[in-house]
Amino acid sequence: MIKSKENGLLIVVSGPSGSGKSTLDNMLIKKRKNMVMSVSDTTRKIRPGEKEGIDYNYITTEEFEKNIKNDKYLEYASVYTGTYYGTPENFVNKMLEKGKDVILEIDIEGARKVKEKRKDAIFIFIMPPSMKILKERLVSRKTETKDQVIERFKTAYKEINEFNKYNYVIVNDNLDEALLKMDAIITSEKCRVDRIEELDVGNAEEIIHEILVDFNEK
Ligand code: ADP
Ligand code: 5GP
């Protein structure tokens, strides 16, 4: 009776480094069918445990700047000193057209650019329960050097002040509860009235005729 739009949802997830974005996004993708992560290009070095083409496409600064010129990115930003991160637009468009929901795990500057270009995107901010817990998670992840942790922690203060530019905020205290909230947001977004393309109630006279026939037969 109701026909919803067939294209997928574009979901932007931001939050300070260590707030739990990757953890939550990966859990959500396992839980929901039809959802994919966009794989960004980056000029930062690959970390132990990361995989080329899965966590990021690791490219040189020269390659990245060439891609900027060729208009490859939906958005890009220099998130930490001298390090580019960008979302290849082609992949995102292809997946959305196929009806897949696409998650972009990007910083606040990138999110701002997506907001200008894609009015129908959904913006979710992942908030740590406290700055003390954020520090503990960031340090215990052991993926950054001391200087990198300090830079990320300083950036976190700027990022947190931007939370009110997003549609939703999730405090990532208990992981399972945070995941439930994220899942519920996506489910609700799929029920939005503006995602309905067509309402077909059929022919009332035909149905009334069928009712009359049903009654006469009894
Ligand atoms: P981000 O992607 O935002 O940088 P991560 O997903 O890498 O953050 O999470 C940072 C660290 O905190 C990881 O070691 C992760 O296992 C841990 N973590 C994430 N969410 C929680 C949570 N709710 N409770 C405890 N630890 C968490
Ligand atoms: P990390 O180096 O920890 O993987 O990511 C650092 C930051 O870069 C995170 O805030 C992450 O969300 C952001 N980031 C990752 N990919 C992109 C991207 O394609 N565009 C933008 N603007 N930010 C990104």
Length of the chain: 218
Locate 11 and state its tokens.
């979901």
Residue with tokens 């899965």: 54
- Please state, in angstroms and as integers, the Cα–Cα distance from residue 82 to each residue in 43, 44, 45, 79, 85, following that order: 9, 9, 12, 8, 10
CB 29: neighbour CB atoms within 10 A?
15
Give the atom of ligand 1 at the shortest distance from the alpha carbon of 25.
6
CB of 54 within 8 A of CB of 38? Answer: no
The SS3 call for residue 101 is strand
Q: What is the pLDDT of residue 218?
A: 60
Q: What is the pLDDT of residue 130?
A: 97
Domains of the chain: residue spans and CATH: 2-210 (3.40.50.300)
Q: What is the pLDDT of residue 203?
A: 92
> Mean pLDDT of residues grouped by 10 in the chain (218 residues)?
90 96 96 96 92 96 98 94 93 97 97 96 98 94 88 93 97 98 97 90 93 86
Q: What is the pLDDT of residue 12?
A: 98
CB of 53 within 8 A of CB of 35? Answer: no
Ligand 1 within 6 A of CB of 23: yes
From the CA of 110, which ligand is nearest?
2
| Ligand 2 atom 5 nearest Cα | 17
| Ligand 2 atom 12 nearest Cα | 106
Rounded-to-integer distance, Cα 97 and Cα 103, Å? 14
| Ligand 1 atom 6 nearest Cα | 20
Q: What is the pLDDT of residue 34?
A: 95
Is the full-model pTM beyond 0.85? yes
> Cα–Cα–Cα angle for 78, 95, 67, nearest 5°?
35
Ligand 1 within 6 A of CB of 22: yes
CB 188: neighbour CB atoms within 10 A?
11
CA–centroid distance, 195 to ligand 1, in Å, is 33
